[in-house]
Chains A and B, each alone.
Chain A
Amino acid sequence: MTIFLPVAGVSIDLFLIVGVGALVGFLSGLFGVGGGFLLTPILMMVGIPPTVAAASDSCQIVGASASGASAHFRLGNVDLKLGSILLVGGLVGAAIGVQIIKVLRSLGNADFVIVVTYIVVLGSIGSYMFVESLQSLRRGTMTGKHHSSAKKGSLLAKLPLQMSFPRSGVQHSVLVPFLLCTLVGILAAIMGVGGGFIMVPMMVYLLRMPMHVAVGTDLFQILFTCAGVTFMQAVTNHTVDIVLAILLMVGSTIGAQIGARAGKRLRGDQLKILLASIVLLVMVKMAVGLVLTPSSLLSYAKGH
């Protein structure tokens, strides 16, 4: 069964789009990642113009993260206090990142920087998570518990504006999550994604949040970030295809619910090693794609 997408201007199989949405939604609910780093390339592969794919992807992430965040909120996995700070930091970082991209584009080497950033960030995070989770699994210990106790004597604990986050069971200076999220926001803007796959590991390893709370809190901040991006894309680029986004949402919201429940049945270490594997697979695919000769030296530029 085919359906016509009015903004994309193409006709496509309905079940294919719903199925793609369900797969990405499942990952969203399971890991708290928005799925942009997977969904946009898949949509482009099935014939959606790149700009419409990216913008409509943001729109569907609003739906998926609303569903996932809501489910996590009921399960007590959303730290609103910390999430609000992360959201502000992420937005500040995204604004800085957009400016960095503008400068890089004017210098003519933005694409190279973006690709190398992708590989370095994905490779570093994925490798660290994979090794750490594997060691933890072998020990048979439950993670998430031992992360919850912050190191009081550390340098971080001496920073000003200390604040307690009871839901996450941690205490930090407000500056720590803010600056970390600003950094993630910069990387996310450079890489053109929501940044969940960077944010969740940051929350777990640097903020010492329990994995499940990190996932729920990340979905909370992604909801607002992507709502802003969707609105801006619709206003400035006219590239949000609501029909495409709704179809993706139908799949992704259901997938996110299943993912959130599946995540509850898995231990933190198991979640982390699964996410690490996906991150590494994407990194390897990108690295291979960089080296192999492309089928065409031309690709449609954004805005067309």
Chain B
Amino acid sequence: MAAGLLISSAMVPLAVATVQGGSPGLTVTPAVVDMGALYGGANLKVEGTVAPGAQVLVVVRGPEAAEAFNKKGRLGPIWVNVGHVSISGVPSLFQRYSSGPVKDMLTRESLSQDQLDDAAIKAQMAVEPKAMDQETIRDNYLSLKSQQGFYKEVEGAVKLGTPGPGGVPFVLDLPWSRKAPPAIYDVTAYECRDGLVASKTTARLEVRETGLPEKIAALAKNRVYLYGMLCVLIAMAAGFGIDFIMARFGKRNLAGH
């Protein structure tokens, strides 16, 4: 029986996803992260219930988009860029949190089927040009994303609670990286049983620019000549202004001596 996954929200409108097996839905608290002028990341909470005996995986995925890279290679004793690579077909962000060791929760086939680990992501990754060393590039892509904190796997982060009439509650405290760009992310909870995914529920997490940052980004994108001139004028005004202030301040100091 597929147990229901319930994730509640107190502050923002619920993000509800369709769930098979009569599951009531899935939400993230908060479901919308506003990137204002003083944004510094967010603390998210994912909550729900599963049937007794089940384990839980929570996966956050960023949107898929082709990314362009330079590839380094050896030219004699030195490393230089030797070509360009385009990578697509993989999430821009992949963070997996589990209630226990994943190798004990899911079979290799299940991991591959739902693309739940690095090996599955590597398998779906499209690398151009195909003449490049595919395996090396795939490994280096994962390594680069891990270094940036966009790809990570944390075991034991999902906490299972005391079984109740509605099932076993679980909770994940999810520190949302301030480096993650604005986008719509999928948060999926997987109920795992007997090495298989018994059910899964997906909610939407929206990370968006608001306030002054949103206005500046729109100006930079839509009114480029005005924005360019403003940048130059603001920079010049700031430079001359600071010099004017410093000159006056310096004179007062000299007078004081």
Contact = CB atoms under 8 A, between A and B. Distances in A.
A184 interface: no
Contacts of B136: 297
Given A10-B178, A62-B235, A227-B232, A240 B220 contact: yes
Given A4-B36, A242-B231, A299 B69 contact: yes
Interface of B: 35-41, 67-73, 75, 77-81, 83-85, 136-137, 140-141, 143-144, 147, 178-179, 181-182, 209, 212-214, 216-217, 220-221, 224-225, 227-232, 234-236, 238-240, 242-244, 246-247, 250
A65 B77 CA distance: 39
A4 B39 contact: yes
A70 B78 contact: no
Interface string A217-238: 0000001000100111111001
A243 interface: yes
B84 to A, nearest CB: 6
A1 B38 contact: yes
A238 to B, nearest CB: 6
A115 interface: yes
B239 A253 contact: yes
A253 B75 contact: no
Q: What DSSP secondary structure best describes chain B's contact surface?
A: helix
A148 to B, nearest CB: 27
Contacts of A296: 140, 143-144, 147
B35 A243 contact: no
Interface in A139-183: none
Given A3-B40, A9-B181, A68-B239, 15 more contacts: A11-B178, A12-B178, A66-B240, A70-B239, A223-B239, A231-B228, A231-B231, A234-B231, A235-B225, A235-B228, A238-B221, A249-B238, A253-B243, A261-B250, A300-B69
A243 B73 CA distance: 36
Among B68, B81, B221, find the residue whose CB has the most chain A CB atoms closer than 10 A: B81
B33 to A, nearest CB: 11
A6 B216 contact: yes
Contacts of A106: none
A301 B67 CA distance: 9
A68 B240 CA distance: 9
A59 B80 CA distance: 28
Contact of A10 (B181, B216, B228): B181
A26 to B, nearest CB: 13
A100 to B, nearest CB: 17
